[in-house]
């Protein structure tokens, strides 16, 4: 019986199912000189390279959007105590 490869590429997307070590995890998320996206240390696809400044912009934008969503969700519960609004539709 032929063993299946645990790492490689399918349709241009990398995969790796080898058990990751701590040093491999750290080195795969911090690769100075590489682009914003690098191969994931475990699983399928790409992840952010935290040694690239563009990755930190993405993290900050995602955090700001999450914070804004949480703030608007908590603000909408306060508005539920308001009285109902009457809507008039004119059929001209």
Distance CA 10, CA 19 (A): 19
3-state SS string over the chain?
CCCCCCEEEECCEEEECCCCCHHHHHHHHCCCCCCCEEECCCEECEEECCCCHHHHHHHHHHHHHHHHHHHHHHHHHHHCCCCCCCCCCCCC
Residue 2 counted as domain residue: no
Number of domains within the chain: 1
Residue 46 counted as domain residue: yes
Residue 90 counted as domain residue: no
Q: Kindly give the parts of the chain with pLDDT less than 50.
A: 79
Structural domain boundaries enclosing 57: 7-75
Residue 51 counted as domain residue: yes
Can you give the pLDDT at residue 53?
95
pLDDT tens-digit map of 47-68: 999 999 999 999 999 999 999 9
Residue 89 counted as domain residue: no
Residue 83 counted as domain residue: no
Residue 30 counted as domain residue: yes
Can you give the pLDDT at residue 44?
94
Can you give the pLDDT at residue 81?
56
């Amino acid at each position: 019986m032929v063993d299946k490869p645990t790492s490689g590429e399918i349709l241009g997307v990398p995969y790796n199912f080898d058990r990751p070590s701590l040093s491999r995890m750290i080195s795969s998320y911090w690769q100075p000189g590489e682009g914003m996206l690098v191969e994931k240390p475990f699983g399928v696809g790409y992840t952010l390279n935290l040694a690239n400044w563009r990755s930190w912009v993405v993290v900050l934008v995602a955090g700001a959007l999450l914070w804004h969503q949480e703030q608007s969700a908590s603000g909408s519960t306060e508005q539920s105590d308001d009285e109902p609004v009457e809507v008039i539709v004119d059929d001209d």
